[in-house]
A and B are shown apart, each in its own frame.
Chain A
């Protein structure tokens, strides 16, 4: 039990060190949880710290992580987007169709990537318009569009998987740059951009204001509806990016399966990361940490070979623990 005793003072030291940095409890708690989880995982499996494993985990995390970053904006502005998982499937189908429709491989891939971003943004715009112009609750709108997007993806493909023989497509999501998988670059790059947008621009401040109290925001001259609309577009755009990474990694898309339950993983990542589901405050870094926590749990369970029946239990328990820890600290 030596090691478990050693980890405690070490973790305490880390906490102490972090206290000096002006971090708030909302981000500190998930960070502590991540560090603990990391420590436990590296003890539980000798394979965990393997570089290839770390790179695998990061890549596995990046698909839902990218979406969770978009979801962070929606949730901070007081909304929710349940349609992101289905949207991955529909955008994925569009990506594969474009890749297969154009004969020049390079052109095909570039156009497919553009198509994904445009399509994702448009689907997000649809959600956003329904919420702002249609005055329907975001939960209801996206519950409906979740069903619509999935159904369209199944209809266009007759529920069959679509794959491609394009020789370079799989290098996008399956490739490496400086021996780090490309989706991971995209994930962290996006996180930096999103962090700057949320914390360092007037737009980000307005997103928080709208989520905290839309009335106050309106009286302060903020165009509340436009901000809400924009968060859904951001979420859609992130789905577009994720769909490119996912489909190109797999070199195919399964309309029934792609993005399955991504909305729940994304929401879980956002919540673990300390963003209030009621909106008004949150951080991108928290979401990144939340996504990493979820990814490491999955990986650790697979590496240690915990009974497949029990994996859901462990995952759920860790989500509850992370959030509990956070409320304890916030209080």
Chain B
């Protein structure tokens, strides 16, 4: 089996930077699949997944990991099917789109694979743990912060994400809060697909048609950066505040460095995948978390934290990809 060993080792080395070479003693095999890195947040996701599997496989020699990514929901279905072939004990998945993945996740769950679903919830629950950020909370926090900073009065542009449930949760919550402030006027609310290029052109168009803008809310930090570029290129000095969402290191640095417009963002951390992987490690072994009296909670919602100059240091992680 020399040849086979060689192939395998080469492949695994590339994937897991060497640690999986110790696969001899693994009692637990955990498969991870996430959408491929097509924008900043998903790139962060991938980075954190690699980071967590590296660290955890070092710490627990009896656990091995396989990390896959998919550029579409149907490709991710194949990912799960292929992972299941490899005697999987636990599956950690951030579904590309939940309905497409519903049936294959159900198959895995019903086979007794310890299943952790991240971020996007299935219509018919088929998991041991669901872990997600607080989408309505993200919208709410951003809205309160903007309203406070503007003193309850001003014109606002909203840069939305693609028409998917998590975006509507954020935007709906944002609008609900803003509805409490009669002085706040939402000039426009448009889709950017969380894509920086598109965000740039959308922002340019919106700035062109709205001569007086006080604040911009971007549902995503990459979109925020693109919006800033549009503002600078159009030499607009009317905008006092630009608030993002997600918590990218780049935006956190801006807040830390007292950026004139970027003073706050709200977390929706891609390292949720890392926590999900950690939960899977303990869950599949039947362990409890620390001194908790219960097993692994079946539902974990990470708080949407507002980051401002006051607390920015706590969120600063210079090595992270997002």
Give every chain A residue within 8 A of B75 (Cβ-Cβ). 260, 298
Give every chain B residue within 8 A of A52 (Cβ-Cβ). 85
- Knowing that A160-B164, A257-B97 touch, tell me 4 more A-B residue pairs with CB under 8 angstroms: A250-B74, A261-B71, A302-B78, A308-B46
Q: 28 A-B Cβ contacts within 8 A?
A: A3-B2, A43-B3, A44-B11, A46-B4, A47-B86, A56-B81, A56-B82, A160-B163, A170-B103, A250-B77, A250-B99, A250-B100, A250-B102, A251-B99, A252-B99, A253-B100, A256-B162, A257-B97, A257-B100, A260-B71, A260-B72, A298-B78, A298-B82, A299-B82, A304-B7, A304-B8, A305-B12, A308-B68
| A308-B67 contact in complex given A44-B7, A60-B78, C-beta closer than 8 Å | yes
Q: List A residues 1-34 near B (Cβ within 8 Å).
A: 1-4
Q: List A residues 290-331 near B (Cβ within 8 Å).
A: 298-299, 302-310
Min C-beta distance of A102 to chain B, whole Å: 20
Contact A60 B81, beta carbon cutoff 8 Å: yes
Contact A254 B100, beta carbon cutoff 8 Å: yes
Q: Is B114 an interface residue (CB 8 A)?
A: no
| A302-B79 contact in complex given A63-B74, A254-B73, C-beta closer than 8 Å | yes
Bound-state Cα–Cα, A44 to B5, Å: 8
Min C-beta distance of A146 to chain B, whole Å: 15
Q: Is A104 an interface residue (CB 8 A)?
A: no
Give every chain A residue within 8 A of B77 (Cβ-Cβ). 249-250
Tell me how many residues of B have a C-beta within 8 Å of chain A.
47
Give every chain B residue within 8 A of A310 (Cβ-Cβ). 14
Q: Which A residues have a C-beta under 8 Å from some C-beta of B?
A: 1-4, 40, 43-47, 50, 52-53, 56, 59-60, 63, 154, 158-163, 170, 174, 246, 249-254, 256-261, 298-299, 302-310
Give every chain B residue within 8 A of A252 (Cβ-Cβ). 99-100, 102-103
| A249-B8 contact in complex given A2-B3, A53-B85, A161-B97, C-beta closer than 8 Å | no
Contact A251 B102, beta carbon cutoff 8 Å: yes
Q: List B residues 137-175 near A (Cβ within 8 Å).
A: 162-165
Bound-state Cα–Cα, A254 to B95, Å: 12
Give every chain A residue within 8 A of B240 (Cβ-Cβ). none
Contact A4 B163, beta carbon cutoff 8 Å: no
Bound-state Cα–Cα, A308 to B15, Å: 8
Contact B74 A1, beta carbon cutoff 8 Å: no
Min C-beta distance of A63 to chain B, whole Å: 7
Q: What residue of chain A has the Cβ atom nearest to residue B107's Cβ?
A: A174
A-B pairs, top 9 by smallest CB distance, nearest first, are A161-B99, A302-B82, A252-B99, A159-B163, A260-B72, A308-B69, A304-B11, A257-B73, A305-B66
Give every chain A residue within 8 A of B164 (Cβ-Cβ). 159-160
Contact string against A for B residues 55-94, beta-carbon threshold 8 Å, 1 for contact and 0 otherwise: 0000000000011110111110111011101110000000
Q: What residue of chain B has the Cβ atom nearest to residue A4's Cβ?
A: B3
Bound-state Cα–Cα, A234 to B240, Å: 58
Contact B12 A304, beta carbon cutoff 8 Å: yes
Q: Is B185 an interface residue (CB 8 A)?
A: no
| A302-B68 contact in complex given A2-B2, A60-B81, C-beta closer than 8 Å | yes
With beta carbons under 8 angstroms apart, the residue of B87, B97, B101 that contacts A256 is: B97
Min C-beta distance of A86 to chain B, whole Å: 13
With beta carbons under 8 angstroms apart, the residue of A50, A258, A305 that contacts B15 is: A305
Min C-beta distance of B202 to chain A, whole Å: 17
With beta carbons under 8 angstroms apart, the residue of B2, B8, B98 that contacts A44 is: B8
Bound-state Cα–Cα, A299 to B79, Å: 8
Give every chain A residue within 8 A of B72 (Cβ-Cβ). 257, 260-261
Min C-beta distance of B189 to chain A, whole Å: 16
Bound-state Cα–Cα, A299 to B99, Å: 23
Give every chain B residue within 8 A of A306 (Cβ-Cβ). 11, 14-15
Q: Is B198 an interface residue (CB 8 A)?
A: no
